[in-house]
């Protein structure tokens, strides 16, 4: 069984997923990291944040390769994005060709207060991110909800919206683990 857990950069997904991993029998696979490793191996990018700036055909080919690999795994949580904000607009993080390979049972959209997300991003020196205003972060979270609903229509999988309250990632993780028991 495969589930997707997503959220905008800075929502606290990595922290929550670390707790979920300890409380469940699921492995965590980061879709973007897998795509990055594939792109890096053929010298297309030097850091992960360059992925979204590659031409569309290259991104599609990387998505296809990564989704094919993940689609052969069982009991995995796919850490990815519902949508990718690019210089050309929002791209689907899980287009039809990816969904077909993944066969997702449930989508989880992790959300947090946009001002909190902005502060987290400013403190994170490990990534090279574009500067987003609070209203842009809010918009991106809303777009993620729309994309999750659209993916659900296509796949028949459930959608879950989980709030990651500042300083309480265990609460979000507990909700996710509780709902994972009903996925199948």
Look at the block and give the residue holding tokens 């947090």: 112
Tell me the pLDDT tens digit for each residue of 27-62: 999 998 999 999 999 999 998 878 878 888 998 899
Distance, CA of 33 to chain centre? 11
Span 12-34, mean pLDDT?
A: 94
Q: Is 12 annotated as a binding residue?
A: yes
What is the C-alpha separation between 27 and 84, in angstroms, rounded?
23
Distance, CA of 15 to chain centre? 13
Q: Is 33 annotated as a binding residue?
A: no
Query: What is the pLDDT, as a whole number, of residue 179?
Result: 92
CA angle 173, 130, 65 (to 5 degrees): 65
pLDDT at 26 over 90: yes
Span 170-176, mean pLDDT?
A: 96
Q: Is 159 annotated as a binding residue?
A: no
Query: What is the pLDDT, as a whole number, of residue 129?
Result: 63
Q: Is 65 annotated as a binding residue?
A: no
What is the C-alpha separation between 103 and 114, in angstroms, rounded?
31
Query: What is the pLDDT, as a whole number, of residue 59?
Result: 87
pLDDT at 99 over 70: yes
Burial level of 82, CB count in 10 A (0-12/13-18/19+)?
A: buried
Q: Is 93 annotated as a binding residue?
A: no
Tell me the pLDDT tens digit for each residue of 118-149: 998 888 766 666 678 999 999 999 999 999 99
Q: Is 9 annotated as a binding residue?
A: yes
Query: What is the pLDDT, as a whole number, of residue 1?
Result: 87
Q: Is 156 annotated as a binding residue?
A: no
Q: What percent of the chain has pLDDT over 90?
A: 77
Q: Is 10 annotated as a binding residue?
A: yes
Distance, CA of 1 to chain centre? 17
At residue 7 the predicted structure's pLDDT band, cuts being 50, 70 and 90, is very high
Query: What is the pLDDT, as a whole number, of residue 125?
Result: 65
Look at the block and give the residue holding tokens 């028991």: 181
- Domain locations in the chain? 2-180
At residue 184 the predicted structure's pLDDT band, cuts being 50, 70 and 90, is low
CB count within 10 Å of CB 133 equals 10
The bridge status of strand 89-92 relative to strand 83-86 is: antiparallel
Distance, CA of 43 to chain centre? 24
CATH architecture of 2-180: 3-Layer(aba) Sandwich (3.40)
Q: Looking at beta carbons, which pairs linking 117-120 to residues 24 or more positions away fall under 8 Å?
A: 117/8, 117/9, 117/10, 117/11, 118/10, 120/10, 120/11, 120/12
Least confident range of 67-71, 75-79, 118-122: 118-122
Tell me the pLDDT tens digit for each residue of 147-172: 999 999 999 999 999 999 999 999 99
Query: What is the pLDDT, as a whole number, of residue 171?
Result: 97
């Amino acid at each position: 069984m495969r589930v997707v857990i997503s959220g905008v950069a800075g929502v606290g997904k990595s922290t929550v997923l670390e707790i979920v991993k300890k409380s469940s029998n699921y492995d965590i696979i980061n879709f973007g990291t897998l795509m990055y490793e594939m792109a890096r191996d053929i010298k297309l990018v030097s850091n992960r944040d360059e992925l979204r700036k590659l031409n569309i055909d290259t991104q599609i080919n990387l998505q296809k390769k990564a989704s094919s690999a993940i689609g052969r795994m069982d009991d995995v949580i796919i850490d990815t994005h519902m949508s990718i904000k690019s210089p050309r607009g929002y791209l689907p993080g899980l287009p039809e060709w990816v969904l077909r390979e993944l066969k997702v049972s449930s989508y989880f959209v992790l959300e947090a207060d946009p001002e909190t997300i902005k502060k987290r991003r400013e403190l994170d020196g490990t990534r090279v991110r574009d500067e987003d205003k609070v209203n842009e972060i809010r918009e991106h979270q809303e777009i993620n909800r729309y994309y999750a609903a659209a993916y659900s229509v296509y796949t028949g999988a459930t959608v879950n919206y989980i709030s990651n309250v500042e300083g309480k990632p265990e609460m979000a993780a507990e909700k996710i683990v509780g709902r994972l028991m009903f996925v199948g």
